[in-house]
Amino acid sequence: MVTAYKLAGQVEERLLERNQLFEQFFSREAPRLAEACREMSERFLRGGRLLAFGRGPYATDAQHVSVEFVHPVIVGKRALPALDLSLLFRPWLGAILRPEDMVMGFGPPEGDFEIWATLQEAQLRQSMTFALPGLEGSYAVHAATQDPFMHQEMIEVLYHTLWETVHVFFEHRELGHDVGQSEFLYPFLGREKQPNTNLVAEVASSILMKAHDDTRLREQLAQDEAEQIGSAAFAIHERLRCGGKIIAFGNGGSATDANDFAIDCVLPPPGYQSIPAVSLSLEPANITAVANDIGSDAIFLRQLIAQARAEDVAIGISTSGGSRNIIAALQEARKRNLLTVALLGYDGGEVKRKHLADFPVVVKCDYIPRIQEVQASIYHIIRESLEVLSRGQA
């Protein structure tokens, strides 16, 4: 029989299991990542675009890359051209690809032959290619684990560091000694211009520091929130047993997390059972219609009114805990007696202060990429726990 105590112990174990694996991976990859970022910065300055794609749950990584580069979380950073081509990646790439572009293909730990073939075509046309994972490309990486959830989380940290580091190379080249708003991320740059070789080495060190930050956050989460995560999984499981479904939603990078969680439920790894779930963030026509006609505060509320039943589970994902459309949807979910779960950052924000979630899970951090990386661990572990509960394992 699965008990809450045993499940909380499994949650803690799974959180901590990630840390050693991730630290080893980034210790090995940081120098290559720094060099890749340098080349990316040069290609962006020549007018190149970042074109990303994947299939199934890995399409959400392409979505995440696109929004991170186009709409950076640091106010004042330039918008960089990036597109998610997952819907029709091979013909779309064939139609628009230019030599100065960067092409990023995502897949499961064992790889995806269709993704690899498309990346090879792009490389033949002189584009920079990222095989995540893969054997060939300008930057190709072997999967460090066969666990699909941990693999995907590791790749998310990887492309977050690409985004962060590209901006450092821009500012070093254009401003010389002044790194602007990136100084708090890269204090080692100081106020003196450095040779580019030194910059690459220092950036590699900073990438490893980011992995250390994630380690610390997962350790804190394992200590403070393992029981809460396990209890949330128990409550979700009970709603699913009663015929309910999961309704996930979030904005920006959190939208891609909501999409990924929903896809992980309905198209899970081999051996898992499918779970009914939808993502309100995966409905661009509804989102743009409601935002245009009513306002962005109602983009999830309006959909929830149409989709929700009392036995359902509403899962809001927000790094700030203060997004008004998340708050509105969770308020409506509570009125309709849905179970409410919230994955939050900072101190939990208004969602926690207003008690809008039956199970708030807070990553106590004030930097969005690190919050999102650890939130991915949370919802993946919830998904694992739901499988454990459905099979009565402990």
In percent, how much of the chain has pLDDT > 90?
86
In percent, how much of the chain has pLDDT > 70?
93
Q: Are 341 and 357 in contact (CB under 8 A)?
A: yes
Q: Residue 113: name the closest of 62, 63, 65, 55 by CA.
A: 55
Q: Are 336 and 360 in contact (CB under 8 A)?
A: no
CATH 3.40.50.10490, the chain: domain bounds: 4-214, 225-390
CA–CA distance, 30 with 36 (Å, rounded to integer): 10
Backbone angles phi, psi at 321, to 5 degrees: 75, 10
Residue 109, preceding peptide bond in cis (omega within 30° of 0): no
Report whether pLDDT(197) > 70. no
pLDDT confidence tier of residue 178, bands split at 50, 70 and 90:
very low
pLDDT confidence tier of residue 1, bands split at 50, 70 and 90:
confident
Report whether pLDDT(271) > 90. yes
How high does pLDDT run on average in the chain? Answer: 93
Q: Are 219 and 23 in contact (CB under 8 A)?
A: no
HSE, CB side, 13 Å, CA atoms: give it for residue 57: 24
Give me the amino acid identity at 51.
L
Alpha helices in 225-280 (DSSP H): 226-241, 253-266
Q: What letter would DSSP give residue 144?
A: S
Lowest mean pLDDT among 85-94, 130-139, 163-172, 300-309: 163-172
Q: Whole-prediction pTM value? A: 0.93
Q: Residue 347: name the closest of 362, 337, 332 by CA.
A: 362
Q: What angle do CA 378, 361, 311 make, to 5 degrees?
A: 90
Query: What class does CATH assign to 225-390?
Result: alpha beta
- CB count in 10 Å sphere of residue 260: 29
Q: Are 299 and 291 in contact (CB under 8 A)?
A: yes
Alpha helices in 75-195 (DSSP H): 89-96, 113-124, 148-175
pLDDT confidence tier of residue 239, bands split at 50, 70 and 90:
very high
Q: Which two tokens stand for residue 307?
A: 């989709």
Residue 277: its H or E element:
strand 277-279
Q: Are 290 and 315 in contact (CB under 8 A)?
A: no
CA–CA distance, 3 with 175 (Å, rounded to integer): 58
CA–CA distance, 154 with 92 (Å, rounded to integer): 27
| The pLDDT of residue 175 | 42
| The pLDDT of residue 114 | 98
| The pLDDT of residue 170 | 84
| The pLDDT of residue 75 | 62
* Superfamily of structural domain 4-214: Glucose-6-phosphate isomerase like protein; domain 1 (3.40.50.10490)
